[in-house]
Structure 1
Amino acid sequence: MSVKQKTLEVLENHRGKFVSGGELANTLQVSRNAVWKAIKSLEQEGYDIEAVKNRGYRLAESSDILSEQSIRKYLSDTRGKFQLEIRKSVTSTNELVKQQALSGAEEGLVVIAEEQTCGKEKSGRVFYSPKGTGIYMSVLLRPKISMKHAFAITTSAAVAVAQAIEQVSERKAEIMWVNDIYCDGKKVCGILTEASYQMETGKFDYVVMGIGIHVKLPESGMPVELGSKTDCVFQQTETDVRSQLVAQVLTRFWDFYQRLESLPFLEEYIQRSCFIGKNVTIETKEGIREGNVLSVNRQCHLVVAMDDGTEEEFSAGTVRLKNDCKLNTG
């Protein structure tokens, strides 16, 4: 770890409090000039650091730049499960992690970007990923589970994100089958899971779980085409909530991941599901069907009482509330 990274770690651990230059130098076993250079470099990267004579340096409470140091102080990662990589800008965190997976990267690699220029949703649309306001994160997994439990990765992640949002923001979070998170009827998060597996053995080579969360409202606001159906977790915030959210999501997801086949998250997934009890239309390859959603089963299929009196399960399809706009594609 460089002097700059070590300096940031100390400042993060004392966020909002002054740390003297002498204390930093002694802690890091470097000269005070080296500390001064590290501070200047951090300021050039955008960190709001106050310097006061005879008091030292203080990282502002309002600083919300993502860094390994800002995340790890909230992360319950005593066994070193995650290898965090923070990038300024990428085309797509999922694409980057897939490349690293093919190069032999270990499970637990997490790539987080301040900005994506070509992030994507399950539908194929571009996921709006402006600089400095969201969480754009992909996690590399090498699960030992069978293909029949593949759905559990996305659904457990959905519950982990919903829990994390409620913990940090105190806003109620619901799951829009099968992979989106909504607050007050608007989408705040999308999850895209991509995998490579061996047909002969039915085992996974790797899984890349991508999570995009709209955390804070960009200065220019949301694009017109998203404004009526997309929201941010916070309208205004002056704390490092993005780092807190990342840590909460990773910690909660990893707990589920260790027990995927027992589906410890399923009951909560069902409780948080927006569609249960609602009349919907379902657009599939075979055509459009209508019915009332009864439940989500143990395979996370949508169980629907159809208008013709039959009961069917759906593992995929575009679902709409009747007389409403399109909500989600499974």
Structure 2
Amino acid sequence: MRTREKLLDFFEKNKGAYFSGEELAARLSVSRTAVWKAVNSLRKDGYEIDAVPNKGYCLSADTDILSSQGVEKYLEPVCASIEMEILPAVGSTNDYLREKALKGQKEGFTVLAGEQTGGRGRTGRSFYSPADTGIYMSLLLRPENCSPAVAVKFTTMAAVAACRAIEKVSQKKAQIKWVNDVYIEDKKVCGILTEGAVSLEKGSLEYVILGVGINVYPPRGGFPRELEETAGAVFQEKKSDGKNRLAAGFLNAFMELYRGKTEQDHAREYRDRSLVLGKDIQVLLPEGSRKAKAVDIDQDCRLEVEYEDGSREKLAAGEIRILI
């Protein structure tokens, strides 16, 4: 580990505390010059490091920059298999991770980025991913003997996990718009895109890439006009370690669901968090749209709808719009 990474790891574990250059050099087994260079390198990347005569250096408690050191300090034992890579920017975290998956990367590898220049949502639509305001991450899964037909459960688990993480860090109520969007106060703050590959020989999933984008803060200058009525953010102003806590909170909650809890428990919570039940909706189908009422969500997280003619259908995937 380079001096810069060693210093950041130490600062993250002792945020808000001052240490002299001499003490830091001794703790890291490097020279004071190496410490000074590492401090300057971190400052160039935006880290707020105070330097006070006779007190030393201190990583400001207000700092909120996504880093592996910052995320790892909040991870729980259930995330022992998680290995992370942090990128300042990337075209798409899902595309980047797919290349890793094709080369045999192990389950649990997670890529996080501060910006996506080609982020995608469902049906190929772009996902707005500006720099410095959000968390854009993809997690690699290799489930055993898993049929593609039940792959939607990873999306619904991720939605529940995102809600738990957001509520724990922000104390704001988070709800789910079927099937893959998370909302706070009627504004979308998180989107999920699940992709994967199927083994033709086995007829089961070879790997799953779980992509999650969270709007942590509003972008400078606000959201683009086409999003300003529907998009929101978890926080309106900077919070200490907001990004790292949210990223770790999601991984903790998702891995707990993935490794342990029964699907019935997960499905029940998914239903309880629904913001569409009882509402009039528009179901978007390949052959056109139909008006319906959202009636129920079953244990497989399928949305049961009742159309205007009285017929009912359970939707395993698709897209809906809430009618006002």
Band the TM-score falls in, shorter-chain normalisation: over 0.9
Query: SS in structure 2 opposite 1:225?
Result: coil
> Which of 258-267 and 139-148 deviates more?
258-267
Cα displacement string for residues 115-160 of structure 1 (whole angstroms, at most 9, x for unaligned residues): 1100000132111111111000001111114214311111000000
Cα displacement string for residues 287-325 of structure 1 (whole angstroms, at most 9, x for unaligned residues): 333322111112221111222222211123331223x4x
Which residues in structure 2 correspond to 1:116-265 (within 5 Å)? Answer: 116-147=116-147, 148-259=149-260, 262-265=263-266
Q: What is the Cα deviation at residue 278 of structure 1?
A: 1.1
How far apart, CA to CA, are the structure 1 residues paired with 2:18 and 2:102?
A: 45
- The answer to whether the 8 A contact 1:256-1:264 is kept is no
Query: SS in structure 2 opposite 1:265?
Result: helix
1:115 alignment counterpart: 115
- The answer to whether the 8 A contact 1:284-1:316 is kept is no
Which residues in structure 2 correspond to 1:1-330 (within 5 Å)? Answer: 1-77=1-77, 80-147=80-147, 148-259=149-260, 262-322=263-323, 324=324
| TM superposition score normalised by structure 1 | 0.94
Q: What is the Cα deviation at residue 263 of structure 1?
A: 4.2
How far apart, CA to CA, are the structure 1 residues paired with 2:123 and 2:150?
A: 22
What amino acid is aligned across from residue 303 of structure 1 in structure 2?
E
> Which of 10-19 and 76-85 deviates more?
76-85
- The answer to whether the 8 A contact 1:149-1:261 is kept is no
> How many pairs were matched up?
323
Distance 1:194 1:275, change over 3 A: same
What amino acid is aligned across from residue 266 of structure 2 in structure 1?
F
1:328 alignment counterpart: none
Provide the aligned C-alpha RMSD in A: 1.5
Q: What is the Cα deviation at residue 192 of structure 1?
A: 0.2
Q: Which runs of 5+ in 1 are unaligned?
A: 325-330
Distance 1:315 1:120, change over 3 A: same
Distance 1:79 1:188, change over 3 A: closer
> Which of 140-149 and 76-85 deviates more?
76-85
Q: Which runs of 5+ in 2 are unaligned?
A: none
How far apart, CA to CA, are the structure 2 residues paired with 1:310 and 1:207?
A: 34
Query: SS in structure 1 opposite 2:122?
Result: coil
What amino acid is aligned across from residue 139 of structure 2 in structure 1?
V
Cα displacement string for residues 65-99 of structure 1 (whole angstroms, at most 9, x for unaligned residues): 11111111111147631111000110000000000
Quick one: percent identity of the two aligned structures? 43
| TM superposition score normalised by structure 2 | 0.95
How far apart, CA to CA, are the structure 1 residues paired with 2:188 and 2:229?
A: 10
How far apart, CA to CA, are the structure 2 residues paired with 1:28 and 1:131?
A: 32
What amino acid is aligned across from residue 294 of structure 1 in structure 2?
V
What amino acid is aligned across from residue 169 of structure 2 in structure 1?
V
Query: SS in structure 2 opposite 1:123?
Result: helix
- The answer to whether the 8 A contact 1:114-1:135 is kept is yes
